[in-house]
Amino acid sequence: MAENRPFHNPFAALAGLPGVPAPVAPAPASVPPAQASAPAAEPRIARAVVRLERSGRGGKEVTVIEQLTLNAKERESWLKALKAGLGCGGVIEGDALVLQGDHRKRLPPLLTARGVKRVTVS
């Protein structure tokens, strides 16, 4: 008689053999009480300027995000998150984030969700 399981586990028969350790559930991660009670405050960015650029890029369109006051590590994490959210490629050029394609309409909601107070699209 078949069990009501979604699939057959070929290793289920090994659980009763001598020398095979029983599965152990992972212990829950302990969080210090000071960190658990206080939520991390997300720093708010004052503004961001979003513009479309074609010059010097062989006619290809890129969306440039400027005037973000982020350090190098934060810029990398923001670029990674924006690339994943928009499904495009991108790179950091100086202090600006450059995304492949025209994303002027899709970027403002993503930037405000990340804490930017004012997004200027030009």
How confident is residue 118, by pLDDT bands cut at 50, 70 and 90? Answer: very high
Tell me the per-residue pLDDT of 67-106, one tens digit each, with 9 for 90 and over: 998 999 999 999 999 999 999 999 999 999 999 999 999 9
Q: How many domains does the chain have?
A: 1
Nearest to 93 by CA among 57, 58, 59: 57
- Rounded to whole angstroms, the Cα distance separating 19 from 28 reads 27
> pLDDT at position 4, please?
63
Task: Flag whether 30 is in a domain.
Answer: no
**pTM exceeds cut of 0.85:** no
Domain annotation covers residue 78: yes
pLDDT in tens, 52-68: 999 888 889 999 999 99
pLDDT in tens, 4-52: 656 676 777 776 777 766 666 566 666 555 554 444 445 577 899 999 9
Residue 68 placed within a domain = yes
What was the pLDDT predicted at 6?
Answer: 62
- Looking up residue 78, the CATH number of its domain turns out to be 3.30.780.10
Do 51 and 119 form a contact (C-beta atoms < 8 A)?
Answer: no
Q: How many CA atoms lie within 13 A of 122 on its CB side?
A: 9
The reply to whether 24 falls in a domain is: no
Among 118, 122, 120, residue whose Cα is nearest residue 45: 118
Structure tokens at 15: 């659980």
Whole domain around residue 61: which residue ranges?
45-121
Q: What are phi and psi of 3, to 5 degrees?
A: -80, 165
Residue 104 lies in a domain: yes
Partners of 83 in beta bridges: none
